[in-house]
Structure formats: structure tokens, C-alpha cells
A and B are shown apart, each in its own frame.
Chain A
Amino acid sequence: MDPLRRSPSPCLSLRPSSPSTPPCEMLGPVGIEAVLDQLKIKAMKMGFEFNIMVVGQSGLGKSTMVNTLFKSKVWKSDPPGLGVPTPQTLQLHSLTHVIEEKGVKLKLTVTDTPGFGDQINNDNCWDPILGYINEQYEQYLQQEILITRQRHIPDTRVHCCVYFVPPTGHCLRPLDIEFLQRLCRTVNVVPVIARADSLTMEEREAFRRRIQQNLRTHCIDVYPQMCFDEDINDKILNSKLRDRIPFAVVGADQEHVVNGRCVLGRKTKWGIIEVENMAHCEFPLLRDLLIRSHLQDLKDITHNVHYENYRIIRLNESHLLPRGPGWVNLAPASPGQLTTPRTFKVCRGAHDDSDDEF
């Protein structure tokens, strides 16, 4: 049995519980409010980190979506997989960029997964992805348990995994369900309906409802998870989002002129699909969720819940987790439970970056 499926994410209250303390009335302004500005200054100086992973079969527009989200060519050359024959193995490809907007620095890491679900036999195709996610947790854990620690541990943990569902219009496929079930326990997952321009509005709604039904039936808890809603405001806001998830998105990184305005869109013979137009697709919702409103929350849940879960499992049953390079074997595994250690081979593929060995 997949050990990672065993323990569900505990739903914890993320608001600190305080010992009962008497409230005090201050007779006038003191200046405590200024701490908010102090926080802002500190945050601006340190900068922010955000790690996002996109998962889905080839041709669903993952790379284009990333470009659209961050309004830039994130991949320095043509996205891997475009125009190249389907890779024989699943490869994870990560790129880090620093982007700045109005003085706010963001170190963005995007991990792409070309080759996912493309093979004839896709058994366990989620394992490398889970392995990668767990490896980031492991690296963080190793840094955290050092005696002499760094002041700021670099955070490479995946904060959000965007899962692209192909627009069949029917329901979730077995591959989708298997993957989502496993991943939701380890990382925040946001499913989206990819290439939604091939569905009409009614088809989209029906598809969405069916997917929501599927998710409920299979107990897949996607982001934003209901059990982490802090208060009534959160509940209201997140319920609205939960009603629209999965968002039907379209990605485009080319600009066209529509009614005198310059917009990002896809030009077809029957019209221009404007990416940022809510009447055409729900890309703005995805962008707002990931960047404008819930970025910090994604990071918090990753740190306070998913990472802690990993840590608990790791400290308790270290010999059952897949091993990677540099991992220390803490407890000798009993003979019946030895898992074959995963060997890491380099795939000398079409990329220049990936030609180093561990």
C-alpha cells in the first residue's frame, strides 16, 4: 500500500490559541500599529518565494499558462515538449526567476512535468512527482535539524500544484482520480479545465459540476480545503471559490488588438478568445487565486500542514519512504519491508541544463 496515502491531513486550527489573559484598555495611542509597517519593510527587504508546479498531459497548454500567469516568457527557449517527440520518461523541469513589481521581489520557481500521462502504461506515473515534492520537504527538514542553521532556510517546497484536466466534457478519468487522490494529501492542488475554449459555456458548467461530484465521491480535498477556513469571512470567500473550481482556463501569450485595446488572447477564424475577459474564460480567477489573494495562504498551508505531516511521518517511520541521494538511513528496515531504492538516472534529452549527475 502506498504509505503516503495512509495518514490524512489533520485539519487543525491555524489561529493561535491563547492562555486566558485579561484585556486591557489603553488610555491613548501608543504606536503598536506601527509594527505592521515594520513587517512590510522587512518583507520587502527579504523578498518573497513562490514555487508552483504544473502537471498534465502534453499539449494541454501548461507552459503557455505559466507564461500567461506571469506575463513573461518563463521558459527561455520553446517550452520543452513543443515540437519534440513525446519523451519516453517523465521528466521534471524546474526554472527559477526573480520578478519584481512595485518594489516587491518575488523568486518564482516553476516546475513542469512533460511526459506525465503520455506513456502507454501510466502506472505509478505520479511517483516521480511525489518523490520530487517529498525531496523538497526532505531538503527543508535536513536544513531545519542542523545544529548551526541558516538564518533563512531557502524554501523550495512546492506551494501549489496546478493540475490540468483535459476538456473531455465527461468526467474525471481514472488517471486524474488516482493522481489527485495521492497528491491532495501531500501538496495544495488546484485543478483546472485546460483548453476550455473547446467547450461551450453550458458544457463547461456541466463538466465542472461533474468534476466536483467526482471529487466529492472520491474524497479529494483540493485547495482551498474546507477544514482550514479560519472564520466566517474566510468561509464565505472560499466557498465562492470552491463553487467555481475547477476553473475553465485558456492560456495565451500573444497580444491582439480588440476594439482598440491590446489584449492577450488566442486568435481563431471565428473570433479572438480574450484570456482576461471573464465572459470568455476564468483565467482571471486562477490568477487572482494564485497570486493576488491566496499566495501567502498557499505557502502557510504548505508550511504548517503538509510539511509538518511529512515531518511526522519521516521522524516516525523513516525507513518506509522512498529514498533519494543524500538521505540518511535512520532506522534499519525490517526484512519484509525493504523497498527497492530508487535509482536516479540522468536523461540526456533535448535540454542543455540537465546534463549533470548527482
Chain B
Amino acid sequence: SYLSVVPRHKRENIRSLTMSGHVGFESLPDQLVNRSIQQGFCFNILCVGETGIGKSTLIDTLFNTNFEDYESSHFCPNVKLKAQTYELQESNVQLKLTIVNTVGFGDQINKEESYQPIVDYIDAQFEAYLQEELKIKRSLFTYHDSRIHVCLYFISPTGHSLKTLDLLTMKNLDSKVNIIPVIAKADTVSKTELQKFKIKLMSELVSNGVQIYQFPTDDDTIAKVNAAMNGQLPFAVVGSMDEVKVGNKMVKARQYPWGVVQVENENHCDFVKLREMLICTNMEDLREQTHTRHYELYRRCKLEEMGFTDVGPENKPVSLQETYEAKRHEFHGERQRKEEEMKQMFVQRVKEKEAILKEAERELQAKFEHLKRLHQEERMKLEEKRRLLEEEIIAFSKKKATSEIFHSQSFLATGSNLRKDKDRKNSNFL
């Protein structure tokens, strides 16, 4: 039997249909939400900033928890990234939150290589996802997504301008991750200085072509508030988990002799704005941008680097799979060759070792022979001596025997004379 299918482009005469009654698919968003609740959410934040600038404290304050206790050292030889994952739950939403911190950023004397470990880490997460996606038997829906959804860049509150390191780092990160710059420890900057500082920072970013994350303004419900917030960047934040009594409430604050800086007071700092934007309003958009823009860019570059194209020579579409197969073949061939090489090397080494051992054995044998010979000689010498000694002993005993016989014969012949003689001899002797 033959098949006839209405071609797709014809099918796209999509008409709107009016329904004469209630069908019930308005529950679809709820079905989707329920599924997401079952699956749980994943959010990964990268904090970039110098040691001691307040990254951990800010994260603690943002999520209203005490995540970690100890302070980092200032003496790391290079920048390292440290990731920790936590499970948070608010009503029925389960969030798997991963915080990645840069340890030792800005501490080195030579900071040329500072940004590279960060870029490498972000790429590594993309790579892991790409590997999973390219597998034949894959499980994307159970994959723990470790890709960085947002990078909080902590700017030092100098009040002047961006540091060169900051510009360099952000320039290298802006095509890989959503960057939200924040002014850290903003309680050290006065209000007027702050305004000037913010303007200066933004103009520097713009003039250097750094693309920071813009809160989306395409949906009517949040467009207005997002647009307003875009104008307030970078957020000047203060973090603190210490509580101070203000009025009759306990609030999170930093207490100074000259006053109390309240974290959640919008007149004092932009912390509330950051929390609103980051978590309550745009968390989903940050995740989506990461997946549809940054990850896709990485994937495209990586595949093109590996030699894949969508359109081959003669402009005919080329299947990714074909090229992939060819590459796989090549890879197998390469691997086999390497295996052979290693085998050969192994055999060679074994031979060499064997030769060395044989040589040692031979030497040992020679030594043994030599020693044996020496012993032999010694023994012969000793034998000789013994023989001589024994002969002497025999000769001596003979002499002794003969003298004793002679002595007893003389005594029997002249009994008394001998006694007298003997006495005389003895008295002469005494």
C-alpha cells in the first residue's frame, strides 16, 4: 500500500478554531508546573571577585542561610574554582543550588592568567552537557545540569573605575555566561559617590564592548520593572547575616559606631533589588538564556572546531552523523595505532630489563666463583699448617716417650746412688 501525506508546508495553513464549549486545556500550564515541581529545579551561580570582597556573605544573605564558615587564604599560587551544591526547599519547590567561588582571584602578583581557570570551568560544564547530549544512549532528563546560569561579578568599591583585571575577565566571560555586575561592600561608598561610580562603570563597560546580562523586557507583566532595574545596574550590595535591633525589629545589618547599615533597606543599598531580579523575577530566564544562547554558541563552535558542518562542499546538506561516523572511524584507527605503539614500547622495555638482569646475574656468578677459589686456597694453606703441626706433635711425643724410658732404666740400675744424686741434684737445685 502506498502512503500519502499532506506535505508540511501545506499543513501550515493553521487556522484558529473557535470552540463551542469548554474543553479544559487551560490546565496545561499547571500540568507543566506540576511536572517541573516533580523534577525539581537547578540553579548554578558563579561568584567572581577578589578574596575577602564578600562573595560568601552575599550568597548567605541572598538565600538566608549560613552555607559555609571558614575564610579563604590569600596565598593561593593560582586561581581555583570551588563548587558546592545545596538542596533548598521553599513550600513545594525543591532547588538544587550550586555555588561556585573563585578562590585566590586577584591575589597573585602576576594576574595575566587569572581569568583562564574561570573560562575553563565554564567550558568544562558546557562540554560535559554536550558529551551527554551526543551520547547514543543518553539520559538528559536525569542529568544534573552543572552549567553556570549566572555570574555575579564583584567590583571593588574604589569609587573610581573598573580595574584592568575586571575588564579583562568580563570581556572573556561575556559570551559564555550571563554577567550581573555588583558593587561589593557598598557601605563604604557614599550616596553621591555611588551615583558617579555607577555611571562611570557602565560607560566603561559599554565603551569596552562588554555584554552584561539585560533583564528581559519582552513580556508585558515584567517589562516595566525589568527595564527600570536595567538602569540601576550595577547593583550596590551589602551582605550580612548578623542581626541588629532597629526600632522594635531584628533586621540584618552591619553595625558601625556611626550608624547601622540595613541590608534590606532600599535606601541603604540595592540588595533587595538584586534578590528580586536574580531569584524572584528572572531565574527562569537566566536558565533559558544559558541553554539557548550561551550553550548553543559553545556547541556550535566546538562542533565546527571538530570539523562538522551543516553544509558541505557543493552546498549540499551534510549529515552531522556522517561526519561523526567518519571521525569515530578515524579516532578508532588512531587509537589502534597508539595501542600498537605502546605494545612495542612495552616489549622493548621488557627486553632491556631482561638484559640488565642477566648481566647482573653473570657478575654475581663470577664473584661467587672467585670467592670460592679464595676459600679453597685458604683451606689448603690451613691444611698444610695442620699437617706440620701434627708432625711436630708426633715428634715431640716420641721424644718424651724415649726420655721417660731412659729415665726409668737409669733409676733401676743405681737405685740409692741415684737417689743421693737426685737429692744432691735437688739440693743443688734448691
Contact = CB atoms under 8 A, between A and B. Distances in A.
Contacts of B139: 12
Given A15-B142, A48-B25, A353 B2 contact: no
B63 interface: yes
Nearest to B98: A21
Interface stretch (A55-63, A180-188, A196-204, A284-292): A284-292
A243 interface: no
Interface stretch (B69-77, B107-115, B180-188, B320-328): B320-328
A26 B88 contact: yes
A356 interface: yes
A104 B27 CA distance: 9
B417 interface: no
Interface residues of A, number: 111
A219 interface: no
Nearest to B19: A71
Nearest to A348: B4
B1 A90 contact: yes
Interface string B283-302: 11100100010001001100
Contacts of B319: 145, 328, 330
Given A34-B280, A38-B285, A316-B136, A101 B23 contact: yes
Given A24-B87, A26-B65, A40-B33, A18 B7 contact: no
Contacts of B325: 330-331
A41 B222 CA distance: 10
Given A132-B3, A315-B136, A21 B29 contact: no
Interface in B24-82: 24-29, 31-41, 62-65, 67
A269 interface: no
Interface in A1-37: 12-19, 21-36
Given A31-B280, A36-B36, A296-B28, A26 B142 contact: no
A239 to B, nearest CB: 18
Interface string A328-346: 1011000000000011111
B308 interface: yes
Query: Nearest 3 pairs between A and B by C-beta?
Result: A296-B31, A38-B284, A31-B280
5 contacts: A33-B91, A36-B37, A104-B28, A264-B21, A328-B319
Interface of A: 12-19, 21-36, 38-45, 48, 50, 69-74, 76, 89-104, 106-109, 119, 124-125, 127-128, 131-132, 135, 145-149, 151, 156, 230, 255, 264, 287-288, 291-297, 300, 304, 308, 311-312, 315-316, 318, 328, 330-331, 342-347, 349, 351, 353-354, 356, 358
